[in-house]
Structure 1
């Protein structure tokens, strides 16, 4: 950690060294100072880059670590070369251009070759033959452009320094450094995939210009012996190197070791490559125009190189256009097809439905419980299941049918004509299991069908599928006008529900829970009611499911919990803390998926001063049968100290194991079982069994829907001690419960 904190300062230090170098050069043209002064930032800059490269290697692994270590070896050699040149300058008498020995030149060349080797051995990712050809042509374009520029540079070099052995060695060293820059640029442009971040490669690119630039600066600064062209550029070599390593460090911190493969497949990555011929031809044009204006003619190398460059650019662009056409075809295919199954995608399917002429049939299919299967068997098995089902659909559909995966576990069929029997074939095929990751899986489906020649067949099929998925009308639903009316009604209720909640149109009624056999009030169940502003009463059976679907049940439930707690607190203040043993409130499956529900309940209890044990939260078996977040919420509620009751017990998944995994305190036996009392032993079997199970497990039992005295008597004989139903009272307003509590008080007195 300490080393990482130190490296965070490297970019700032490198910039300061570069700025210091510029200031020294500017000052050196005015006043004299020791020759070695300019070499302090010249050596410190590359040394800092060497340390930064080593640090980047330590942060990475694999090909990245190898790359940065090879690069650090090259930069370390440059540091040694800079020290060698500083020794040359300090031990040799000279006037004019500073000396540079053979040892120093050799070190510069070795460092450059090592850097080039690191770049060339950096993996660039797989390519198609067109992409490989484009990369080769890019290299050729840059090489020809560099050759044209090099011919002019060599001419200038000979005019300035002559053709001595030392001059030629210097020229070779500078050309090698320039080649390093060319290699970096070509690597950036041609690599389809690179583990090194593109930004890091771009920071390395200017390093190749420093060699030729140092030669130019040697000539410019020759009147001042204490200044040096190499010393002028080396701090910038260090700065660009440090910034490249910093780009790598930032990429690692962000969780991306380099160019992500998925990004490299983006078409824009290929379009950026067009900068190679544009930049090359632009620079060549500027260079040749400058030479022609100054000399009035062009050399054979320059003219021939320009002609070759134009041919390469034309060839490169031709290959790139062919590659782009292939890429566009691939993108168009991917846009219209599903990657996993190979079927058509939603976009193609909706377009095909919209463009259909004449009678057609649209069938939408949803795999039931797919999420549970996917979670239980794993995502790989889930994918295999989808592929297997797609293959089954393709076999069922026949020729001329559009088969599509619309997303997730939803599929679609578009058939010519009216073919209602296709749904029967789809359902019948599910009798055969599908094979997925070594498992044999039976799938069940919900199917929505719409037939006709109207343009909104897809929407109609969606309505039918939505109805089928609710499970109230069967697993196969065919669209008819009643679905449209129901949708309109549901939309109206949903809009009014939100408005009514804001306007205070909801109120609570409380149905008594009594103790058998005498019928004394011991608790209440809170029931929400809605009376619209126009006086019309909306049944809970109509608005509760809509509140569930729209998510408004969360807001409505929060209001109910707060209102019930406030009323419970009022009853306690009025009639004493022991007046009621339980005030029950129903919580829906959607509310149990809200992780904030326990905090909401805790806040309502604390806000109104209600003891947790007084509140009973009623849940259904179906809501918690699958476990997961809902069951975790139930455990959190139990930890608050509130009581938990399983409502409508026996009508849901009915797993007795649920009584062990779910921390319930009571079970409420559904009315459908109470109605069987007084009949045959078989009709009374469940009611009889449940009281025995509850007694053994220490649970309270409450019988719901008691309507006759005979039922109440029989329940008492079977061991039931609590009941509710119309025999005792219908749901009542708080004032009526007040009166019953007052009556209890008088009886007790």
Structure 2
């Protein structure tokens, strides 16, 4: 309709046609907007539906005004301007007032008193700006159309329409939250230009009586209305819901543009008037002065509001939102600024992630809140209690030195969280300091907490200088590890696994060595740094290559299996099964001749680790549980984990030959394994008596210093050759 209207206007300047022709697109465009508004109301609900219904009614009155004006053109006499009757002007005014009412009743999400006062001043700024512009507009209008009653009514209607547009702009600038998409409001804003623009077009089109300024702009009123409704439909299609509340956090910044734009426009208007006439009217001088005062007041209040918001943000930065405790930022600043003797306590809730995943985030949040209340009560009112993030808490104590003991004692009492009674085990790092080392206290407590978390079970670690030395040593070992791995400094030894009672070699366990550094000195560091993944891949490849060489040299049945230890960190690597499969394929080694040894603790939690073990078992690789009987829930793992063998821990072997109670577990384990069809390997056999007793109890495989210490590959090669020679003889 808008395009058709433009074509008709352009054509009408070249040839005459019936006067009603230009009103067909005008009326049709307004009808389309009414239909679009009603459609938006049907598809929404709540405040949103009420808004679209109100603007549909307002646009309906504008549609009636358009029809009425078309009738006026046919029935009323011309008197220097296109005819427009009182009825038509009233309909325009009513439609405009209803539109303004709909906009003013649109919720904005609530305000503080400063924000409300700022909005009032924004309206006042726009009103004064509009008043100055209106005084200039009225003077221009009277020069063009005279001072007849109809001219005054036309003035009122046009000014009302312009005010509607100004209200839309102010509303957009100051809305902080709204159920209506901001795009819809922006499409409605240009409608306010329709009134003044139609008056300008009336002047421009006076030489062609069959053309009309109102008819020229009304299709565009319909177009912008339909586009506003379309923006609402797009919001709904994107999943915005029936009455979405859309936050506009930057509304305050955009709202500050209202006085700036108003001041700029009036300054331009006043400058143009003065240059053209050489003087300013009383209204213009007074209005400009009032406008400047309003802008100054508005900006002063906005500055105060910004300062208030900054204070609020600063307070929030110092407080944890969930628990109400102090935040990490406040806590670290408090520790650094402490001026006397103090104790810093850092606390980590063990197994919190398992609780959060198992019972849900609501229970996890409830647990954190309940523990925060417990900490606050235990620490006393003179302590600084903070939640440092996640499941970590901090205490800054200047008194009550027994707080740590009371924390550990309270762990035996369950906490109520979301209907669950939960026992909370904690790791605690503690450091004592004074004003001279306050800035370093937090770091020292973190070192102590890290050491506590590395231990088994809940425990307390107090900082001392040895922790610093251990940290330095670990950093050095980590750097040397990376260099040594790149330089090929690692090698493997192999400890024989033998049959009982004849001692025949049936397998070996591969053990990594690095210079004169004990595995206990570098394996934990490799785990902490993640280098264990790269080191473990090298061990797997090297062991498979050696097993393939023995297989080729001594036959496929000379050695039943080569075992490789895989750490908990390696089991969490999704690529582990692919790494094993690639090593087997690269060296043409059957999967059944590789045994992966894992610990019970590594797969106790299930998840990724258990999935890796299952994938390895599906490759055909043997799975052995190492140090069996010392980890978590051993018997349950025999049902859930695809195990082929269990390796009985040395601590049970040491008890053989003693009392029946000492031998009970070793006897029970071999019975369980036999029933479930699992192989058993006794570890740490150091004497002939232990080997004999194990055989009597039903054990058929063992390893330990009694048979052989870990040996280089060449020594195992010689043992296999000698064993083949005995068999041949």
Please report the TM-score for the alignment, with normalisation by the length of structure 2: 0.86
Deviation (angstroms), 1:423: 1.8
Q: Which residue of 1 aligns with 2:359?
A: 377
1:484 aligns with 2:468: yes
Cα distance in structure 2, aligned partners of 1:565 and 1:215:
92
Q: 1:627 to 1:250 in 2, by over 3 A?
A: farther
Deviation (angstroms), 1:353: 1.8
Q: 1:279 to 1:526 in 2, by over 3 A?
A: same
Q: Which residue of 2 aligns with 1:598?
A: 577
Cα distance in structure 2, aligned partners of 1:222 and 1:574:
110
Contact between 1:513 and 1:524, CA under 8 Å: does it hold in 2? yes
Q: 1:577 to 1:112 in 2, by over 3 A?
A: farther
Which of residues 271, 274, 292 is equivalent to 1:289?
Answer: 271
Cα distance in structure 2, aligned partners of 1:43 and 1:734:
97
Q: 1:473 to 1:641 in 2, by over 3 A?
A: closer
What are the within-5 Å matches in structure 2 for residues 160-175 of structure 1? Answer: 160-163=144-147, 167-168=151-152, 170-175=154-159
1:390 aligns with 2:369: no
Deviation (angstroms), 1:478: 1.3
Q: Deviations over 1:288-345 (max 9, x none)?
A: 3333443455455445544544444344334333322322221111112222222221
Corresponding residue SS for 1:217: helix
What are the within-5 Å matches in structure 2 for residues 624-635 of structure 1? Answer: 624-635=603-614
Contact between 1:196 and 1:257, CA under 8 Å: does it hold in 2? no
Deviation (angstroms), 1:239: 6.1
Which of residues 413, 436, 441 is equivalent to 2:422?
Answer: 441
Cα distance in structure 2, aligned partners of 1:251 and 1:742:
79
Deviation (angstroms), 1:395: 2.7
Q: Which residue of 1 aligns with 2:384?
A: 402
Q: Which residue of 2 aligns with 1:615?
A: 594
What are the within-5 Å matches in structure 2 for residues 565-580 of structure 1? Answer: 565-580=544-559
Q: Deviations over 1:388-437 (max 9, x none)?
A: 322332233334332222112222222337x6533223222333333322
Contact between 1:96 and 1:223, CA under 8 Å: does it hold in 2? no
Q: Deviations over 1:65-107 (max 9, x none)?
A: 6645665676687678778878988999999966667787677
Which of residues 355, 363, 367 is equivalent to 2:337?
Answer: 355
What are the within-5 Å matches in structure 2 for residues 235-634 of structure 1? Answer: 237=221, 240=224, 244=228, 264=248, 266=249, 268-416=250-398, 420-453=401-434, 454=437, 455-471=439-455, 475-531=459-515, 537-634=516-613
Cα distance in structure 1, aligned partners of 2:714 and 2:396:
60
Q: 1:31 to 1:389 in 2, by over 3 A?
A: same
Deviation (angstroms), 1:702: 2.0
Corresponding residue SS for 1:517: coil
Deviation (angstroms), 1:485: 0.4
Runs of 5+ consecutive residues of structure 2 not aligned to the other structure: none
Cα distance in structure 1, aligned partners of 2:40 and 2:409:
61
RMSD across aligned positions (CA): 3.9
Which of residues 690, 695, 704 is equivalent to 2:669?
Answer: 690
Q: Which residue of 1 aligns with 2:110?
A: 126
Q: 1:312 to 1:581 in 2, by over 3 A?
A: same
Q: 1:323 to 1:423 in 2, by over 3 A?
A: same
Cα distance in structure 2, aligned partners of 1:571 and 1:50:
88
Deviation (angstroms), 1:113: 5.3
Q: 1:124 to 1:686 in 2, by over 3 A?
A: same
Corresponding residue SS for 1:685: helix
Q: 1:627 to 1:45 in 2, by over 3 A?
A: farther
Cα distance in structure 1, aligned partners of 2:188 and 2:643:
67
Deviation (angstroms), 1:23: 8.5
Cα distance in structure 1, aligned partners of 2:720 and 2:469:
46
Q: Deviations over 1:108-148 (max 9, x none)?
A: 66665564454334321122222223223322332332233
Cα distance in structure 1, aligned partners of 2:579 and 2:492:
19
Corresponding residue SS for 2:623: strand
Corresponding residue SS for 1:443: coil
Contact between 1:181 and 1:209, CA under 8 Å: does it hold in 2? yes
Question: Number of matched residues?
Answer: 724
Q: Deviations over 1:491-549 (max 9, x none)?
A: 11112222222222223333333333323333333322223xxxxx3222122211222
Q: Which residue of 2 aligns with 1:730?
A: 709
Contact between 2:174 and 2:251, CA under 8 Å: does it hold in 1? no
Contact between 1:361 and 1:452, CA under 8 Å: does it hold in 2? yes
Corresponding residue SS for 1:623: helix
Q: Deviations over 1:348-371 (max 9, x none)?
A: 221222222343222222222222
What are the within-5 Å matches in structure 2 for residues 12-27 of structure 1? Answer: none
Deviation (angstroms), 1:486: 0.2
Which of residues 699, 706, 715 is equivalent to 2:678?
Answer: 699
Q: 1:711 to 1:326 in 2, by over 3 A?
A: same
| Greater CA drift, 626-635 or 710-719 | 626-635
Deviation (angstroms), 1:172: 4.4
| Greater CA drift, 241-250 or 198-207 | 241-250
Q: Which residue of 1 aligns with 2:621?
A: 642
1:670 aligns with 2:655: no
Corresponding residue SS for 2:443: helix
1:212 aligns with 2:196: yes
Deviation (angstroms), 1:606: 4.0
Q: 1:161 to 1:499 in 2, by over 3 A?
A: farther
Cα distance in structure 1, aligned partners of 2:189 and 2:132:
19
Deviation (angstroms), 1:614: 3.5
Corresponding residue SS for 1:657: helix
| Greater CA drift, 114-123 or 320-329 | 114-123
Cα distance in structure 1, aligned partners of 2:582 and 2:474:
33
Q: Which has the larger radius of gyration?
A: 2
Q: 1:91 to 1:696 in 2, by over 3 A?
A: farther
Please report the TM-score for the alignment, with normalisation by the length of structure 1: 0.84
Q: 1:569 to 1:138 in 2, by over 3 A?
A: farther
Q: 1:575 to 1:221 in 2, by over 3 A?
A: farther
Q: 1:74 to 1:614 in 2, by over 3 A?
A: farther
Cα distance in structure 2, aligned partners of 1:230 and 1:415:
78
1:147 aligns with 2:147: no
Corresponding residue SS for 2:177: coil
Cα distance in structure 1, aligned partners of 2:308 and 2:8:
55
Cα distance in structure 2, aligned partners of 1:69 and 1:596:
60
Contact between 2:179 and 2:246, CA under 8 Å: does it hold in 1? no
Cα distance in structure 2, aligned partners of 1:390 and 1:739:
65
Deviation (angstroms), 1:480: 0.9
Q: 1:69 to 1:659 in 2, by over 3 A?
A: farther
Q: Which residue of 1 aligns with 2:141?
A: 157
Deviation (angstroms), 1:743: 4.3
Deviation (angstroms), 1:53: 6.4
